[in-house]
Structure 1
């Protein structure tokens, strides 16, 4: 089942197993059961002195399923489905961690996991093509390995469609905790811990409030924020980064093929590299913290959502942007119930169904091309009279038999049955006629909104909410700089944001030495 090179690499990784583990495969006499059992046997053969295999041919629970745990203990990590594709890394980490190989997660966070006293049963519904799902699976798996009160199960929605339909899951990852919906979409270990550990926020606020003032405080952890932090730290000045979500939009980007000198990569890989590069320097990285206020006093103060106030001699704003919403009736009600923003993540949920893509730019047409290989039909609705996507993408979309493109179409309402999306209404802008499309999924791809609401009464912004900056990254407030997608930079690209972050850091350093 495993290719020769993959098997060789896996064999090398498995040498790190310290303590014996057991793999238990539950089967149900299907082709997928045979496939999972074959995978388990190949793994066992690679490290037979540390891994044993048992087979449950009369499974009463989910099957096919692979359970992993230390020998002599009830397994707490399970894979319901075949953990290949993006989830293969989750499988490898589960094997290593169950076998005693230490995690790279901060020791402080591991200790926090171990102190959780409540019984927590996580179920994570995924699709194997989802690049956000492994982060969630790996987070809850680690929690289960470290704490005997916790169990974690990955469930491939394509293989357990009856459960998906019963629970009306329309987006992945969907996380259930003790049988109740816990969260949807990409979540980090920090986020999950903050939700289950009710005392975490107060502890963090108290700890943050005690921090000494910074020379440069970067607000935001995307490409612009990472570059700003690195350039600042290299100057030898006290640098902090406060970010609601390290990586920003890049973490949700699948294919990156225009990052100069790197022929091709993906968002999660680039984000991991950015974070490691930042941590190579003496940077105080504070994740899972949202800024809600900025005020210039003797020092510049940044207030966080948990009430803590950080102080700095200068600040670089790199809060980025987020997907623009349609703001039509039904959109909020049916978000993650048919209204989606990531075709890579949620596309497989709509296999064999009719879908719509809102937006005819590069993102919209790329989404349509991506979905066309999965769903029954894709209808692209473009507000303007021409498509804004690159010509090569438009030609590709037009060549696909199950893609229809409608121009001059203004979406007016998302239609649902109370549980999920069943269609949408749009108006033909040339005739003013209203039309209804019967679709199960709506993918919104209509651009970006800058994350600048908390700056509205503090800095000079454009009508669109972008922070106005000059050639040095300076804003209208002395000592406050900005970079990346939150600013007036005309082109929203990763490499341009990085350049903007470096530029703002150099501007901030120049400001500091002149004070």
Structure 2
């Protein structure tokens, strides 16, 4: 395959940063994908004298695949397939890191990974169109590089379809550890380490308990939380963010075309820009931390305490809650049982696994119609189900949907059950006009019916609406003085990125005003 000249020029700049020799060992077969892999490796080899490639002779390895090693050290990093698309970055990062480029990881975490004992053979099944998969691949590659007891293989499900079928993989990324399913979905380095190292909670808790008190502590790292952090830090007050996942739902959003002044971008790119902006200021970002409870002070001399799931407690004069929302589930029989076995929520990630198959999309809003349009270009047939008599999506999206020949739309349909054996085989629904129950054979169900606010942990302390949203006033303040809220978690209508950012800045200004008056 031939790399674009612009990409080659960029890669040449990166390759100049390689300090240690790299040896790429490849295993080929007679397939077109194998030839494509060898062409890619040959092109990369020509870009740096520090890189050498050689053909491996061991027939036990997957083919096509290749290892990224040092001449005298097998790193355990393997790519099975051709790492293009979203995984091209994973490939280049592996080369740089094996070649001595410094890891952008805290020293404490590096030492923790190095000290993990035991034997860990990770395998991650991905699709090249999955924008969440590279986070997992890159994290596990780093762990393999740091610890000789850990190995990791990225496996392109499109190339290794027999493995995908035999293991009944219908969602990516799917991670296997020592031949047993370990996790499905996006994970970052700290999350993986915490899951395999029992020491993680106590290590992290001790570190967090030693932090100084904050003036404003923001819970949630999506657009509202990031905006709150920037506005708070610019006021010169001590600011911290506690986030289960920096970026929140935006990380799962591929196309963004309504963010004013930016014609088009992707969720992960926007999150990276948000994080860089936040880190321009003295903001203490505590990622991969889940809030458990707020302890409200009994008098003005005390401060709010935020208790985390790992047992740590952080103190602050004010709080801003921006915990966002998560995908709403149907709540019908079969949904939980077949999650990852035909039931999916991310069409961009999981769509390629349903190539040529019949799938359903539940939901006729913008998200549902966009999902159906995207899937129609990959799968064999799409049937979109909408509960109401009409679709709720924008007219331009509806026009595009109805122009597609491999899409059916069923209105006034109530989903009753998702059927299957080891994976989804059909959907049962009721025609709300006739009350007749019907069954449609298919192999996948993508659920796109909106969001539910992440407020389960707050219901005993903060006033919520009947829909579980945090009630706020025109300054973003909640029912508890000194506690503010912003974004999709609140009663503010229209759940949009740009609105969340505006509400986040308003909550920060409200918190600052509260501080100077109290």
TM-score higher than 0.5 here?
yes
Tell whether 2:83 aligns with 1:83. Answer: yes
Q: Structure 1: which 5+ runs fail to align?
A: none
SS of equivalent to 2:155: strand
Deviation at 1:206, TM superposition (A): 2.2
Aligned to 1:387: 391
Aligned to 1:223: 223
Tell whether 2:321 aligns with 1:317. Answer: yes
Tell whether 2:417 aligns with 1:407. Answer: no
SS of equivalent to 1:484: coil
Tell whether 2:383 aligns with 1:376. Answer: no
Deviation at 1:436, TM superposition (A): 0.6
8 Å CA contact retained: 1:378, 1:403: yes
SS of equivalent to 2:46: helix
Aligned to 1:308: 312
Aligned to 1:477: 480
Question: Using the alignment, how far apart are the partners of 2:9 and 2:109 within structure 1?
Answer: 32
Aligned to 1:360: 364
8 Å CA contact retained: 1:27, 1:58: no
8 Å CA contact retained: 1:28, 1:57: no
Aligned residue pairs, count: 513
Aligned to 1:69: 69
Deviation per CA, 1:406-441, whole angstroms, max 9, x where unpaired? Answer: 000000111110x21111100000100001111111
SS of equivalent to 1:285: strand
SS of equivalent to 1:364: helix
SS of equivalent to 2:255: coil
Using the TM superposition, name which of 92-101 and 1-10 deviates more: 1-10
SS of equivalent to 1:22: strand
Deviation per CA, 1:473-502, whole angstroms, max 9, x where unpaired? Answer: 011100000000000110111111011111
TM-score for the superposition, normalised by structure 2: 0.98
| Aligned Cα root-mean-square deviation (Å) | 1.0
8 Å CA contact retained: 1:20, 1:71: yes
Aligned to 2:491: 488
SS of equivalent to 2:426: strand
8 Å CA contact retained: 1:27, 1:57: no
Using the TM superposition, name which of 375-384 and 110-119 deviates more: 110-119
Question: Using the alignment, how far apart are the partners of 2:120 and 2:17 within structure 1?
Answer: 28
Deviation at 1:103, TM superposition (A): 1.6
Which among 389, 401, 404 is matched to residue 397 of structure 1? 401
Deviation per CA, 1:136-182, whole angstroms, max 9, x where unpaired? Answer: 00000111112222111100001001110111101000001111111
Tell whether 2:8 aligns with 1:4. Answer: no
Question: Using the alignment, how far apart are the partners of 2:437 and 2:119 within structure 1?
Answer: 52
8 Å CA contact retained: 1:28, 1:59: no
Deviation per CA, 1:289-332, whole angstroms, max 9, x where unpaired? Answer: 11121131121121111222211110000000011000001111
Question: Using the alignment, how far apart are the partners of 2:238 and 2:160 within structure 1?
Answer: 51
Question: Using the alignment, how far apart are the partners of 1:75 and 1:111 within structure 2?
Answer: 17
Aligned to 1:514: 517
Using the TM superposition, name which of 206-215 and 233-242 deviates more: 206-215
Question: Using the alignment, how far apart are the partners of 1:459 and 1:228 within structure 2?
Answer: 19
Q: Structure 2: which 5+ runs fail to align?
A: none
8 Å CA contact retained: 2:75, 2:144: no
Which among 343, 349, 361 is matched to residue 347 of structure 2? 343
TM-score for the superposition, normalised by structure 1: 0.98
Aligned to 1:140: 140
Aligned to 1:116: 116
